[in-house]
Amino acid sequence: MKYLRVFIILLSTFSFGLVRAGEGMWIPMLLQYNEKEMQEMGMRITAEDIYSINHSSLKDAIVLFGGGCTGEIVSDQGLLLTNHHCGYDYIQKHSSVQHDYLTNGFWAMNMGEELPCPGLSVIFLREMRDVTEKVLTGINIDMSEADRQAKIDENIKKIVAAVEKETKYKVSIKPYFLGNEYYLLLNEIYTDVRLVGCPPSNIGKFGGDTDNWVWPRHTGDFSIFRVYADKDGHPAVYDKDNVPYKPAKHLDISLKGAEEGDFAFVFGYPARTNEYLPAVAVDQEANLIDPIIVDLRGKVLDIYNKYQEQDPKVRIQYASKHASIGNGWKKWMGVTEGINHFHGVEKKRAFEKDFQEWALGARNRYMYIDLLNQFEKNYKELEPYQLAYTYFSEAGLRIELVSFAGRFVKLSEVTKDTPQGEIDAMITNLKTRSASFFKDYYEPIDREVAAMLLKEYLKAQPADFRPDFLNGIKDVDEYVDNLFNKSIFTDEAKVNELLDNFNAKNVKKLANDPALKVYQSLIGFYRNEVYDHISSLNATIDRQRRIYMKGQMDMQPDKRLFPDANFTLRVTYGKVEGFKPQDGKTYRHFTTLEGIIEKENPDIYDYVVEPRLKQLYNNKDYGRYADKDGTMHVAFTASVHTTGGNSGSPILNADGQLLGLNFDRCWEGTMSDLLYDPAICRNISVDIRYVLFIIDKFAGAHHLIEEMTIVE
Ligand code: ARG
Ligand code: ASP
C-alpha cells in the first residue's frame, strides 16, 4: 500500500512536470485531441461532457453575453452569471441619482422586480461543423486575393443557404487560423434578458481602475441576469408574459474552492488574439501605436477624473465612458511593458530566423521564403496610415460633440426627393440617440477634452497629412470656444426643437453646424487619405499572414497549434496557481476578505468598504461559503490563457463544476494577446463562494441561491 502511494505520487509529479499547458484557446468540437492532456493534468470529465451535439453538455450553459462578454446559466430557470463590468452598461442605464444602482446595487426580490434590458441579447452555440474543405473548394495559392475572396464568399453563401433549410438556428461561417480553416456555427439568440441583481460598485468594482489589470485583487466582479423565452422556450422579444428559459444544462457550483496546482478550465468567448504576428508588427503595436493611445487616453481620463470628483451626477454620467477608455489605457500600457520586459520582439525574431532557415530548406516551401522581408516592408509602409488612423479615432472622434454631430450627417443631406417616411424614421432614431447622449453629457468636460486633444493632434501629425479643419486653426482654445458656442449639438433643447420641427431650412442649418463640419472634415480625410491605403495594405498583409500561419503549421507538424481568438466559443485550461512576477517576489494564488479590510480607505472612492460587509467580516459570518482555512476567499489566479471577451466566463474544476468567474488578467501578463508566457501570464477570477456569500449573506437574496445546484 505504502509503495503504491509512492508510485502514484512519483507518477503524478512526473506527469505534472511534463504537462504544463496554459497556452491555447481550443475549439470545443475538437477537444478530443486535448482530452488526454487535460486528464493527465487532473480533469475527471471527458471532452464529450464539455461539448457534445448528441446529449446535453457544458456548452449548453455558456453564452456570448451582450456581444462582448461571456455568461453562464446557473439554474433551470435561466438564471445567468456574468461580470459586474459586463452588466455595467445595463446597470448604468437603469441608474439615476434617485435610483443609483451603480452605487447601491440592485436586487430583484422576485421575478416581477427584474428589469428588462432593451438591446441586450445572449447567444447559445448549438452546434459547430468543420466546413474547411467546402469553403476552400476551387481555391489555390496562386489566385489573386480578390478572386480568392470572391470564390470563398460564393462557397460560403451556398453552404449557408443549404444549412439554413434544415435548421431554425442562425447560421454563420467564420475563418480560423487566419483563413486556413473554416467552421460553421449554429447559434440561437435570446433577446429578453433581465437584470436580476448586482452588488454595489464598491464590491462589484472594488479597487476600480486603480486595481484593474493588477494582482492581488479583491473585486466582487459579478452581476446576475435572467434569460426569458416564449412559452415554448423559443427566443422572443421582450414581453411581460415571457417565461424563464429552461436550459438543456446549467452549471453545478462547487463550494470546495481550489488548491494550488489543481486543474482548471475556462469556457467562453475570447475576442481577439494575435499570437502569430511577425516581430515587426509586434514592435509597431507595442512600441509605437499603443504608447500614443495610452498617452492620449491618460490625458482624457485626467480631465474626466477632475470633474467626476466634483459632482456625483457627473460621476455617474461618465462612469461607463471612464471605465471603457480606462480599461484599454491601462492594458496597452501593460502590453508595452510586458513585451519589452520579456523581450517579446527578440523572441519573435529568433523564431523567424528558424522559420527562414526552414523555408529555405526545401523547394516546395518557396511561398514562404520572401514572407518575412515582405512583412518588414509592408508594415513600414502601413505606419503613417496607422498613426493617422490612431489620431483620427483617439483624438478626433473622441470629442463627444463631434461624434454626436456625426449622427446627423444623413439628415443634413436630405433633399426634396427624400421620401418623407425615410426622414421620419431618421428623426425617430435621432430622438432616441439624442436622449441617451444628453443623459450622459457634460459639456465642460468635453470642451476641455477637445482643446487638449486638438493640441495633441496638431503637434503630432504633419501639416500635409491632417484633416483640413485642423490646418485652419490659429488658436486652439479660441477655436474650441467658438465651436462649442456655435454648434447646436451642445444643447438638448435646440436639438429637440430642430427634430420636432424639421424642415428645409433646418437642413441648411444642420449642414452648416460647425461640429458637423468638423466631423465631415475628419471623415473626409480618413476616407480620402487613409482608408484606401490601410485597406489595400491590410489585404496584402492578411494574405501574407495567412500564408505565414500555414507555414508555421507546416514547420511544426507535431506541435498542436490553436487558432487565434475570433469571438467564438473556446476552451482553455491550465492550473490554479500563483506566480513570480519578479526576482524575489512571489504571488499567492488567492486573496481573502482580509485584503479588502487592509485596502479600505474611506477617502478614496475605489477603496470604500460597505459597512454591512465589514460587519459580516467582523462577525466572521461566512456561513458555508468560508474556505476550509476559515477565511473568505475573494479571488484567485490560474495559468489559463484568456483575453477580452472571456470576462464573465466560468472557470471550472476537474469535475466541470463552477469555481468562479473569470474577469481579468495580471498586469505582468497583459501581453498574452501577442505572446503568451506560461510563467507569468495569469487570469484572475472571482471565487464563486464570495459571489454566493454576497448574494446570500450581504444582500439577503437567498431565493437566488435556492435556485442553484450547489455541491458541498
Ligand atoms: N480589465 C478587465 C477587462 O479587460 C476588467 C475591466 C473592468 N474593470 C474596470 N475597473 N474598468 O475587461
Ligand atoms: N477583462 C477582460 C474582459 O472584459 C478579460 C481579459 O482581458 O482578461 O473580457
Q: Which domains does the chain have, with CATH numbers?
A: 1-121+191-264+562-712 (2.40.10.120), 279-546 (no CATH)
> What is the pLDDT at residue 17?
34
Q: Which atom of ligand 2 is nearest to the CA of 86?
A: 4
Confidence bin at 8 (pLDDT 50/70/90):
very low
* Ligand 1, residues at Cβ distance < 6 Å: 85, 205, 208-209, 212-213, 323, 326-327, 644, 647, 663-664
Centre of ligand 1 from the C-alpha of residue 323, in Å: 7
| DSSP single-letter state for residue 413 | T
CB of 513 closer than 8 Å to CB of 487: yes
Looking from the CA of 341 toward its CB, the CA atoms found within 13 Å total 17
Please give the backbone phi and psi of residue 212, each rounded to the nearest 5 degrees, phi first: -55, 140
Beta carbons of 279 and 345 less than 8 angstroms apart: yes
**Confidence at residue 21, expressed as pLDDT on a 0 to 100 scale:** 61
Is 415 in a helix, a strand, or coil? Answer: coil
Q: Is residue 16 pLDDT above 90, yes or no?
A: no
H/E stretch holding 130 reads strand 122-130
Q: State in Å: Cα 362 to ligand 1 middle.
A: 47
What does the pLDDT look like over 477-513, one tens digit per residue?
999 999 999 999 999 999 999 999 998 888 999 999 9
604 has pLDDT over 90: no
Question: Residues 675-700: pLDDT tens digits?
Answer: 999 999 999 999 999 999 999 999 99
Ligand 1: nearest atom to the Cα of 85: 7
CA distances from 667 to 81, 214, 461 (A): 25, 5, 31
| Long-range Cβ pairs for the range 43-49 (8 Å, 24+) | 43/263, 43/265, 43/573, 43/654, 44/654, 44/655, 45/654, 45/655, 45/656, 49/656
85 is catalytic: yes
Distance from the alpha carbon of residue 630 to the mean position of ligand 2, in angstroms: 30
Quick: pLDDT tens for 435-476: 999 999 999 999 999 999 999 999 999 999 999 999 999 999
In Å, how far are 119, 143, 237 from 89, measured between CA atoms? 11, 45, 20
Q: What is the largest CA-CA distance in the chain?
A: 94
CA 100 – ligand 1 centroid, Å:
21
Q: What is the pLDDT of residues 355-411, one digit of tens each?
A: 999 999 999 999 999 999 999 999 999 999 999 999 999 999 999 999 999 999 999
Instruction: Tell me, using a 6 A CB cutoff, whether residue 326 lines ligand 2.
Output: no
In order of 71, 126, 189, 300, the CA distances from 171 in angstroms are: 21, 10, 11, 41
For residue 233, what is the DSSP state? S
Mean pLDDT, rounded, for 52-60: 97
> What is the three-class DSSP state of 606?
helix
Name the closest ligand to CA 331: 1
Q: Which helix (H) or strand (E) holds 70?
A: strand 69-73
- Local confidence band at 97 (pLDDT 50, 70, 90 cut-offs): confident
Q: Is the CB of 434 under 6 A from ligand 2?
A: no
Reference 217, options 700, 686, 606; nearest CA is: 686
Confidence of residue 582 (pLDDT cuts 50, 70, 90): confident
Tell me, using a 6 A CB cutoff, whether residue 270 lines ligand 2.
Answer: no
* Residue 515 · residue 483 · CB < 8 Å: yes
Q: For residue 88, give the ligand 1 atom closest to its CA.
A: 7
The residue from 221, 513, 664, 673 that is catalytic is 221
Tell me the HSE value of 294 on the side-chain side, using a 13 A CA sphere: 15
Angle between helices 492-500 and 504-511 (to 10 degrees): 140
- What's the whole-model pTM score? 0.91
Work out the mean pLDDT of the chain and round it to a whole number: 95
Which H/E stretch holds residue 4?
helix 2-18
Mean pLDDT, rounded, for 165-188: 98
φ/ψ (deg, to 5) at 653: -90, -175
The per-residue pLDDT for range 514-547, each reduced to its tens digit, is 999 999 999 999 999 999 999 999 999 999 999 9
Query: Does residue 11 surpass a pLDDT of 90?
Result: no
Distance from Cα 289 to the centre of ligand 2, integer Å: 20
Ligand 1: atom nearest CA of 322 is 11
CB 243 within 8 A of CB 228: yes
Angle (CA) 138-141-144 rounded to 5° is 85
Question: What distance in Å separates the CA atoms of residue 206 and residue 195, rounded to the nearest whole number?
Answer: 20
What is the residue whose three cell numbers read 499603443? 290
DSSP string, 455-509: HHHHHHS-GGGS-HHHHT-S-HHHHHHHHHHH-GGG-HHHHHHHHHT--HHHHHH
Phi-psi region of 369 (alpha: psi -120 to 50; beta: other; left: phi over 0): alpha
Q: What percentage of the chain reaches a pLDDT higher than 70?
A: 97
Please confirm, yes or no, whether 144 is among the known catalytic residues.
Answer: no
Q: Which mutation among 212, 570, 642, 681 tests ligand 2's pocket best, with the greatest number of atoms within 8 A of CB?
A: 642
**Residue found under cell 499567492:** 588
pLDDT over 90 at 15, yes or no = no
Tell me, what's the pLDDT at 497?
A: 95
pLDDT in tens, 631-650: 999 999 999 999 999 999 99
221 classed as catalytic: yes
- Range 326-336 average pLDDT: 95
